[in-house]
Structure 1
């Protein structure tokens, strides 16, 4: 692996990877290759340990491991003020933001809980863009006192980069990285990480110089929630999240897929894809409903594959696995790269094999069922029908997953007619049978939704991003 000093006159870009999903999107996509074609060298400033990159074969990148950032109480206070104020400002118009604001309310009487109560009281009145700017200014001023700031500053100074590209916009330590870059005259740009981040989450970490977004829709959202971005460069590039689906190295033949997952080729195949336990608590109920319907012949004999969340180990499904031995399980192959981290889920990194497994499921399964996740888009890319079960509401005692239908990003999915929304067992079984018999019934609506959410073709996504960074 070359040293930073060996880059000479080549253009050097800093790439900030914060977690395993960023690793998947920018290390396992075509980005490194396309940067090379534009005569760019990449230095990765990594929130993952350097050993995580042993999973790839690439001697063209320099890995700079970032020290884990431990926030001071003062910095935390001003960051929380900024984030809660942002949500207070938009809670009336966006259900997802209101729901996340509610989650932030204190539930005990600890010192921190009392501080959060104070923050809620202050920001219920003082939450304009002007006030948010002031909270952010105080947050970053206090963060500069943190020993990590001087270390980040030196790392960026030594790197000689001209552009620092953040593959996420939310983790708190990105704010002080952005501040260090500002001191050094380094241009910064941030990618908006996910389709729900703007209309559902709190304030981003820093006022970056420019932004790369999925679509014109996301560009409009960015300008709405962050009015100052109207005066900044915003480029629509698509998202590398889905690019592996058009890359030859991740293609698996149908024969290999059938053999690996022990699929009976004379049957159709349903894939149930789980969320994580914090947002998709009823996965077990939905899997049981489908499995029982198969045994009772209410659904024709099919292959049933369950893919668990990469953020979990799948242990919560032990009882179901024992009860229904015919279910095929796909536990994502993600490696835990660091123990004892404040956010351990962020330290999980995918193997190349898992991208192959996921793509083969998307390509060769006949139907997807998930609880309102991004996986709806993944399967639509391969023209597969999608069902979203949401049995729970505020009255029936089940986990209220129907609330996600009111989140702005998913409300559009519902309104588009591209998925089947089912609210009880009967509707789920009927929808499964209909979708297996009529797989293209919602195809036009699916393709329209993909155009809206993913603004550019999957092919050459990384090349567009590399060009956008070069233009900066």
Structure 2
């Protein structure tokens, strides 16, 4: 079977190309074309890691005309308003944060908000907007270029690795015209309520029953039969012992002490503006502890955060704080977006060993809680505002819809004030079973188990669904 895999940016590279997913698809006798928007260096990195993946073709450039973009943004805002009402969660609109720099963008988003408000009053209007978007998109000259690729390769199914990318819209539109089956994975555990499912597909592959139910609730036009629960390959790396390094060897590379308890502080991107303040708070409190019992801090920043905002903390507390930067690269001088950056295979090893050899992770609501739960290690979520009178409120973060999945579970420990930092850390380090004792149960709600079978299950479901006439 011929399968075309859409890779519009570096986001899907780690989870689907570096994992066993694509390799096993090829080993099963399927012909795979990677239809991508990656740099040449990213492609070479993929080929070094997975030499069996040989078939690459670049996605043609696509720039939305103003009308198409206005419709897309209008639909996103309309769905956010509807999702806010459906889910009874006012934080949903926090995901509407468009850049309004410049007169054209101000006009664009003024119109999108006005029209989106009107459409949100009736779901049938939103659906009419979806059809209008498809109609206007079909006029793009890019579609004819894409059709040539599809007619030449003749895929049986197209799988999109990033449902939020506008770059993939003309490809899905062209596939529909040519009656080629389409499918998408949902990239992350928090994506569904964000109203950025741009195109409609024949099949949807989701992490869990929780995500399936959410998709059905917020997109009633999608049928139950179109959604398959397959999990996600992104956590399978923790089962790969070939990636493991001995603690002493790994720590020696980066100046850490293999005999000390270790906290991982994982940073978010720049949308979380006070991560450096949190790290400073943690270091200030740890500095008060006797050096004999003071743990060391392993700092892992968000891959797209290339800012210098942590430098003052790293320099001030360099005797016990050590940075192991993610090995993500770009061909551009500056990059603060996952659209222009890609992971190396070495970063898989860095991340796996960071989790394996750290005793606890601290962050502001990061997915890293799940990475640590894989190896049954606790997470502490920061749950206080580090800066007075800030528009950014931590209570908004933990009211986001995806955190409702905790329900009554004690999935993480909570640091509710700066004064609690040391005690909560010491408890987590020395009595880990008491901190977030339900972390494994939460993980099972977020992603289907067994985790090590997620790639295989995804492949099976793709081949099974697409074989139905």
**TM-score, structure 2 as length reference:** 0.92
Partner of 1:253: 246
- Give the conservation status (yes or no) of the 8 Å contact 1:17–1:167: yes
Shift of 1:50: 4.2
Displacement of 1:395: 6.2
Tell me which moved more, 407-416 or 432-441: 407-416
Q: Among 8, 18, 22, which residue is 1:28 paired with?
A: 18
Deviation of 1:13 after TM superposition, in Å, equals: 0.7
- Unpaired segments of 5 or more residues in structure 1? 1-10
Contact 2:410 2:437 in 1 (8 A): no
What number of residue pairs does the alignment pair up?
Answer: 457
Q: Equivalents in 1 of 2:445, 2:75: separation in Å?
A: 30
> Partner residue of 1:137?
131
In 2 relative to 1, CA 16–339 (structure 1 residues): closer, same or farther, beyond 3 Å? farther
The structure-2 alpha-carbon separation of the partners of 1:368 and 1:453, relative to structure 1 and needing over 3 Å to count, comes to: same
- Match of residue 243, structure 1, among 236, 239, 245: 236
* Matches of 1:413 and 1:347, distance apart in 2: 33
Choose from 97, 112, 124 the match for 2:92: 97
- Cα contact 2:274–2:386 (8 A) shared by 1: no
- Give per-residue Cα distances to partners, 1:155-207, cap 9 Å, x unaligned: 112111111001121111222211111112211111011110012x1241111
Q: What residue in structure 1 maps to residue 168 of structure 2? A: 174
CA distance in 2: counterparts of 1:91 and 1:438, whole angstroms: 39
State the shift of 1:385 in Å. 1.1
1:48-97 deviation digits (Å, cap 9, x = unpaired): 23441101321433111112321100111111121111112122323332
Instruction: Report the CA distance between 1:227 and its aligned residue.
Output: 0.8
What RMSD, in angstroms, separates the aligned Cα atoms of the two structures?
2.2
Matched, 1:465 2:458: yes
Give the structure 2 partner of residue 54 of structure 1: 44
Aligned ranges for residues 302-381 of structure 1 at < 5 Å? 302-326=295-319, 327-338=321-332, 344-381=337-374
Alpha-carbon distance in 2 for matches of 1:302, 1:349: 32
**How far is the alpha carbon of 1:338 from its aligned partner?**
5.0
Match for 2:213 among 215, 220, 224? 220
2:390 is the counterpart of 1:429 = no
Answer with 169-178 or 182-191: which moved more: 169-178
Rounded Cα–Cα distance in structure 2 between residues aligned with 1:339 and 1:318? 20
TM-score by length of 1: 0.91
Distance (Å, rounded) in 1 between the aligned partners of 2:247 and 2:206: 34
Runs of 5+ in structure 2 lacking a partner? none
Q: Distance in 2 between matches of 1:262 and 1:75?
A: 52
CA distance 1:431–1:272, change in 2 (3 Å) = same
Measure the CA separation in 1 of the matches of 2:261 and 2:137: 55
Instruction: Name the counterpart of 1:291.
Output: 283
Deviation at 1:365, TM superposition (A): 0.6
